[in-house]
Structure 1
Amino acid sequence: MSHDNVTATPAALALLAEIEADHGPVIFHLSGGCCDGTAPMVYPAGEFRLGAHDVQLGSVGGAGFWTSGAQAAAWADTALLIDAVPGRGGAFSLDNPRDRHFVVRPPTCAAPA
């Protein structure tokens, strides 16, 4: 079940295009853990095992954006904006070796254009 409450900045879409050019189709997963916080992890499509309770919140440039059922409930009434910011991503995420990584921002916290 997709909620379609996920959008992306041009910077996030550009980073996604770079990653997909190198790795093919990908998915996003937001764990909500203490170390990841608002940094979604990016994995090659088909190589990350989604849990029985994971929920698709929407998509970013065609890549599914997933999180746990508990996180989905917490974000249910919030439109999420995916952005790319300077710095390295999570250790297992495909954005790690790049000079930018993805973050989730509620639109009210979006950086000015």
Structure 2
Amino acid sequence: NNPKKTGPTLNETFLGLLYPTENYKVYGYLTNTKVKFILVTTDLDVRDADVRNFFRRFHSAYVDAVSNPFHVPGKKITSRTFAERVSTIVKSFGLSTAV
């Protein structure tokens, strides 16, 4: 076992770039409960770290929404808070505070 080894870990749910084309890229993410998230972006210069962060934030919002005792499993998520969080996550995608 090499602790410095790079690559996916046992708990890694980021599937990475699934399908690149001339005009867009498709990324995938699979939760531990087998829920699949897909991100399609026209930003061809997007970094994997930004995509991973997007999926982690989206997954967190999703978990909070489906953990709501008023949410009915298998039904559409109708939470206004979830919609606002997703909107914020999407708007901030690709924006970096690093100079």
**TM-score between both structures, scaled by the size of structure 1:** 0.27
Higher strand proportion, which one? 1
Larger Cα Rg: Structure 1 or Structure 2? Answer: 2
**TM-score between both structures, scaled by the size of structure 2:** 0.30
